[in-house]
Amino acid sequence: DMSNAQVMKDEQGRPFIVVRDQGKKKRIAGTEAVKQHIVAARTVANIVKTSLGPRGLDKILISPDGDITITNDGATILGQMEISNHIAKLLVELSKSQDDEIGDGTTGVVVLAASLLEQAADLIDKGIHPIRIADGYDQACEVAVAHLDEISDEIPFTRENTTNLLKVAKTSLGSKIVSKAHDQFAQIAVDAVMSVADLERKDVDFELIKVDGKSGGALEDSLLVKGVIIDKDFSHPQMPDEVRDAKIAILTCAFEPPKPKTKHKLDITSVEEFKRLQQYERQKFEEMIQQIKDTGANLAICGPEIELIAIATNGRIVPRFEDLSPEKLGKAGVVREMSFGTTREKMLVIEECANTRAVTVFVRGSNKMIIDEAKRSLHDALCVVRNLVRDNRVVYGGGAAEIACSLAIEDAAANNAGLEQYAMRAFADALDAVPMALAENSGLSPIEALAAVKSRQNNEKNSKLGIDCMQTGSNDMKEHFVIDPLIGKKQQLLLATQLCRLILKISQVIVPGEEGS
Ligand code: ADP
């Protein structure tokens, strides 16, 4: 029953979900409970559905203290919504898992999961037990995942020739706020990943890529530094603004004259005593400086971001001055102050680091909202490129892969004599939700667009055909370089199927301390 769950708005216009509590009177259980969970899931999915794809709409989110976020990233939208329904929360988690593992496809996975659940509701009405549905879904998912392997293509690239990676990154940025600077952001994403990538081991350590931002300037002023940028300047104007061949003491302790600890009462009754204290502090400070100099260091850094500095310069973080020693110093070819744009603000850049692979992307933009969304978009692009380094097999987007899997599952279902056949068909139908949402968001008629592409895929045995969201006149997604990494698409299917089983098995939600819900 649709009227159970509603999207309401609070006084600031922030959406939240109310699922009317039927359980006040009687405790609901069994399939009735499962169906209510499905309603809650659908409500959440409907919110993110409109942001799917290159023509998806951005959302404005306003936090309780008035912070504004503009985004079309599913994980972000869901993460910032105040959701009290337990099942709805599971969808938020789902989107987060996809984000953690793959970093992309966070909206798609929610749309798919909700669609699977919706199909399940119909099967429950037909009298099929939720567990049998979950079993059929598992079988269908297996067919789909195997089919993805079959239809996957390889995207060739080398360290020298990254043209293909650039194209993929550009597609990923196409629907985002940064689209006007997407050539530049794509290049930044590819360069960043390639500078830290270990192509032999097919490994990209994201720890080595730092994305920083500061408001001021335009998106086009964003840049990649093969090193580390730190929001500090040299602490004294008389210091040089560049240190070559830097040997860096990396300290967690503050580098300042010792302060008397206030918990010990300090009685100063005369000028002499005060002078003695001053003398003592000065002497201690000089000792500290000497300790640093003795190790051979020509630069000391303390405060935040020291972990990154330590990784980049192959140094060790030292908690106390006494622990300093030459082999613990970080090393960098050059540490210099860099000024940005029109403002006089300065930052420290550490380049030619001992561990040269660490890089920093520095995002500029006119305000924090733009920068935050640019950072999220860049993160997506970084993820897509990273995923291709890990495994360069891809399937085609625009719903092409979903349609291909849907057809494969239909075939397999026909050969299943058991009840699972129904669940498999339902799974095949559920996959249609993705191309349909893409079509709808692009102003196309969802059913017509889907029917046209599906029949062509079937007749032409061509799994590259998808929804032509950008109205280019061609449905060939390979032509437009609209791809999804194979591992990302598999992950979406597996996570969504897993979540369905979980929800289909929950026949009751018992909240400690809450009265009979
Ligand atoms: P997600 O958060 O799930 O990645 P997006 O809003 O980034 O969601 O949309 C991704 C979907 O849009 C994928 O299904 C992808 O194949 C599709 N897509 C992206 N660009 C295009 C395009 N130019 N034409 C058709 N489909 C596209």
Q: Is residue 450 part of a domain?
A: no
Q: Which residue, of 355, 383, 410, is where some domain finishes?
A: 355
Q: Is residue 214 part of a domain?
A: no
Write the CATH number for 267. Answer: 3.50.7.10
53 CB within 6 A, ligand 1: yes
9 and 120, same domain (yes or no): yes
Ranges 229-233, 326-330, 475-479, 500-504: which has the least confidence: 229-233
Q: Which of 100, 148, 438, 467 to mutate to test the pocket of ligand 1 (most atoms within 8 A of CB)?
A: 438
| Range among 62-76, 120-134, 309-323, 420-434 rated most confident | 420-434
Structural domain includes residue 440: no
The yes-or-no verdict on residue 47 having pLDDT over 90 is no
Give the tokens for residue 5: 């769950």
Same structural domain, 238 and 136 = no
Same domain, 244 and 344: yes
Together in a domain, 321 and 407? no
* 122, 21: one domain: yes
Q: What's 35's domain CATH number?
A: 1.10.560.10
Instruction: Find out whether 349 and 229 touch, Cβ atoms under 8 Å.
Output: yes
Mean pLDDT of the chain: 86
**Identified catalytic residue from 76, 106, 162, 171:** 106
Ligand 1 pocket, residue 480 CB under 6 Å:
yes
425 and 287 in a common domain:
no
Asked about 323 being catalytic, the answer comes back as no
Q: In which band, very low, low, confident or very high, does the pLDDT at 321 lie, cut at 50, 70 and 90?
A: confident
Reference 397, options 450, 449, 469; nearest CA is 469
Mutate to test the pocket of ligand 1, among 48, 52, 395 (most ligand atoms within 8 A of CB): 52
Q: H-type helices in 126-162, by residue range?
A: 130-151
Its domain, for residue 118, covers: 2-154+399-435+461-466+478-505
Q: Is the domain of 234 the same as that of 314?
A: yes
Same domain as 249, residue 130: no
| Rounded-to-integer distance, Cα 405 and Cα 411, Å | 10
365 Cβ below 6 A of ligand 1: no
Domain boundary among 355, 380, 407: 355
Whether the predicted pLDDT of 27 surpasses 60: no
What is the predicted ipTM?
A: 0.98
Distance 437 CA to ligand 1 centre (A): 10
* Shortest-distance Cα residue to atom 4 of ligand 1: 105
The residue whose CA has the least distance to atom 27 of ligand 1 is 398
Domain boundary among 355, 382, 410: 355
Q: Which of 105, 42, 30, 33 is nearest to 438 (CA)?
A: 105
Q: Examine residue 429 and state whether it is found in any structural domain, yes or no.
A: yes
- Same domain, yes or no: 288 and 345: yes
What radius of gyration, in Å, describes the C-alpha atoms of the chain?
A: 28
Residue 233 lies in a domain: yes
Residue 335 · residue 249 · CB < 8 Å: no
Say if 293 falls within a structural domain: yes
Note whether residue 288 is domain-resident: yes
Q: Kindly tell me if the per-residue pLDDT of 98 is higher than 80.
A: yes
Active site residue 43: no
7 and 150 in one domain?
yes
Q: Please check whether residues 417 and 493 belong to one and the same domain.
A: yes
Residues 6 and 150 occupy one common structural domain = yes
Closest-CA residue, ligand 1 atom 11, reads: 53
pLDDT at 356 exceeding the cut of 70: no
Residue 229 has pLDDT above 50, yes or no: yes
Could you give the number of structural domains in the chain? Answer: 2
Cα 237 from chain centre:
40
Q: Please name the residue whose Cα sits nearest to atom 7 of ligand 1.
A: 53
